[in-house]
Chain A
Amino acid sequence: MNLELQHARSRLMFVFLLVCIGMAGLLARLYYWQVLQANQLSQLANDEHIQNQIVNAPRGLIYDSQGHILATNVVRDDVYIEPIQFFVDHPDDSDAALAGLVHTLHEVLPTLAEDRLSRDFKSGLQTLRIAGPIDPAQSARLRELHLPDIFLEPRTWRIYPGGDLAAQVLGFVQNGTTGVYGIEGAENQLLAGKPGTLTAETDLNGNPLTVGPSSAQPAVNGASLTLTIDSTIQYIAQSALADTVRQLKAQGGTVVVLNARTGAVVAMAGMPTFDPNHYSSYYKQMGCLGSESVYFNPALMCAYEPGSMMKSVTMAAALDQGLITPDTAFDDPGIIAFKDGTPPVTNWDNLGYGHETMTQVLEHSANVGAAYVAHDILGPGRYYPYLRRFGFGQLTGINDGPEEPGTYRTPGSPGWTPSDLTRQAFGQSILATPLQVAIAYQAIANGGVMMRPYLIAAINNNGQITTTKPQVERRVISARAATLLTQMLVSAANYNQNATFPGYSIAVKTGTATTQGISAYLTEASMAGFLPASHPRFVILVKLDRPQAHGDIFGGVAAGPLWRTIAQQLMWHYGIAPDQQSSTQSRDMGR
């Protein structure tokens, strides 16, 4: 072979070998990336293109008994800026651009000062939240302007359109997700629902693609609750309570209104209260005479000495056992001493009423008479079972968050003495919550049958509706004893005239309690009762904590007008016909 041809062939072979080596190298690299690194690269690709999104479940709404919304959800935007990106986008004219942008932002969000906005843009952060939640109008304006380096992030907020209406019953939602206090806290799991998930390939903007693999777990919407609360009566109770607390310079107060037949809570108000739309502003405020946070429902948490309202329970126990009648009489010299050495008891006004019937004991609110019945007629063995039957010292079981059971000493308790018995007869030496006292009067109003109090009338769980049926707790006293006691309470109401008003018979008892170790002028003035007495529809309890003004510190004069205001409004609102004729206020038609 020719030498040049051989050289040419050698060069060709050399180039061919180089190409083969190159191809082998490429194949090896390909093998490395496509086979050895396949899993890692697939994972990176999936992380980039496949997103696992959490689908939030909308929180259930809360309605009142008339279907008006008490708690709902709205979406509001938070405003974010991208400080670093801004200076990347404006390397040369950042000052002028910043001034313009800040000025425009300030016009849309006037609460944000321009110098503060400038400082925020110079913060050197990737993103910074500058405002939120903002109004829908402000959101729309910002969207129209298409401002660079600014974006809106939607967030769901819990809103209470009624403001502070039934705030302590409802509670509030923290951070948009977790219910605390009240119904929001007690029924958080039911209201919150269950979030879902969506796993799918996404496009460049992060939107899930309909093509390609995807899997979804749908969200389960939160259940909606309908409460037994009537917004109108709740508002009336809250407003009247607030006015009374202000006028009498009291430290606080509570109102409870129950349906006498079913135990449904029609209204439950406390002062001081808070606005759940701005709950964080109230975190330092205290209620229950400074012992509990204002967020707690005082009707369930503020146990107090009920005072003379307990005389009804004492009389109920004795009537039910046939040991007294309304006309059973005894001699009241203003003080009673006991043969077993129990400390004597005096009447609150230090007066002696002489020959006094049991009905008159309630009319005069005589401590001597109550102590006599408890100590000399009932005795511990026949008295304490009735305290238990009336629900004292036990939780009511109402579903509205934490609750105090109240307490009292019994013969089995350490330190009990017969003095406890005589004092408990007129409401000292026993702690009870306003709701406990209210349901005791509900039992009397309902012919001796105590109903379990409840706040939730119905639950709508994604179309499945569950309605609460009124539940009988137990028979506390006989129907006859309840009737006799009602007559005594009507007589007491008419005798004192603190809460009576034309057209309706009412059965009420006042209470004025003082706390040992604290001035006798610092009282808990209260009144509990029901109306119309002939066919009770509603039970009302009002309590004022340490009223001061005008010397109105006693249950009748302090709490009576408030009780009457709420009672009148109840009768008008529900169109309940008068059960009494009054010659001055009514006209008889058709005669």
Chain B
Amino acid sequence: MGPVALCITSVILIGLMAVLYLSQQGQALAANQQLQQIHTQQAILERQNQDLLDTVAYEQSPAYIADNAKKLGLVPADPKTVQMLVVPHLRPIPHNQQNMQP
């Protein structure tokens, strides 16, 4: 191969390698963009999850339950109206059996 042909071939090969390298870099960067989008989405979902946990905790709080019970017309129990039933020899169900079907 003459020197001119060798030069031209070398330039072409170097160019191809450069294109390949740049292409891979481009793919990596595109993947990085995708990853960033997924991270952003994850952050949004985590925020939403935290907000939901906060909402659940708020609605489980005694103050919230008491307020809503009042709005529904419920009133605190009056101790004077409570009747106690004494059942002789009654044994409580052990805690670990309380969910068992009869």
Contact = CB atoms under 8 A, between A and B. Distances in A.
Contacts of A75: 46-47, 50
Contact of A585 (B47, B57, B63, B84): B84
Interface in B36-88: 36, 46-48, 50-51, 53-54, 56-58, 60-63, 66, 77, 79, 82-88
Contacts of A502: 84
Contacts of B83: 585-587
A232 interface: yes
Interface residues of B, number: 32
A162 B63 CA distance: 7
A203 B60 CA distance: 44
Nearest to B25: A211
Contacts of A209: 28-29, 32
A27 B68 CA distance: 82
Given A165-B61, A165-B62, A210-B35, A159 B54 contact: yes
A210 B86 contact: no
Nearest to B77: A572
B17 interface: no
Contact of B62 (A69, A154, A235): A235
B32 A235 contact: no
B28 A210 contact: yes
A585 B84 CA distance: 6
Contacts of A205: 36
B86 A586 contact: yes
B87 to A, nearest CB: 5
A74 B84 contact: no
Contact of B53 (A69, A136, A568, A587): A69
B13 interface: no
A161 B54 contact: yes
Contacts of B48: 136
Contact of B87 (A165, A210, A235, A589): A589
A239 B65 CA distance: 13
B31 interface: yes
A216 B81 CA distance: 65
Q: Which of A136, A211, A582 has the most CB of B within 10 A?
A: A211
Contact of B32 (A73, A165, A203, A501): A203
A210 B31 CA distance: 8
B62 A591 contact: no
A585 B54 CA distance: 42
A568 B79 contact: yes
Contacts of B56: 69
A103 B77 CA distance: 52
A588 interface: yes
Nearest to A71: B57
B99 to A, nearest CB: 16
A579 to B, nearest CB: 11
A165 B63 contact: yes
Interface in A560-588: 568, 572, 578, 581-582, 585-588
Contacts of B87: 589-590
B56 to A, nearest CB: 8
A590 B86 CA distance: 9
A59 to B, nearest CB: 11
B50 A72 contact: yes
Contacts of B25: 211
A207 interface: yes
A456 B56 CA distance: 23
Given A165-B62, A235-B62, A585-B83, A207 B50 contact: no
Contacts of B46: 75
Interface string A484-520: 0000000000000000011100000000000000000
A367 to B, nearest CB: 33
A163 interface: yes
A207 B32 contact: yes
A162 B86 contact: no
A207 B51 CA distance: 25
A69 B85 contact: no
A211 B30 CA distance: 11
Contacts of B77: 572
A503 B61 contact: no
Given A210-B28, A210-B31, A588 B86 contact: yes
Interface string A55-78: 000000000000011101111000
Interface in A113-147: 136
Contacts of A586: 83-86
A587 B84 CA distance: 6
A231 interface: yes
B50 A231 contact: no
Given A502-B84, A578-B84, A590-B87, A163 B28 contact: no
A231 B62 CA distance: 7
Interface of A: 68-70, 72-75, 136, 154, 159, 161-163, 165, 203, 205, 207, 209-211, 231-232, 234-236, 239, 501-503, 568, 572, 578, 581-582, 585-591
Given A73-B50, A209-B28, 12 more contacts: A69-B56, A75-B50, A136-B47, A162-B61, A162-B62, A207-B32, A211-B25, A211-B28, A235-B63, A503-B84, A588-B86, A590-B88
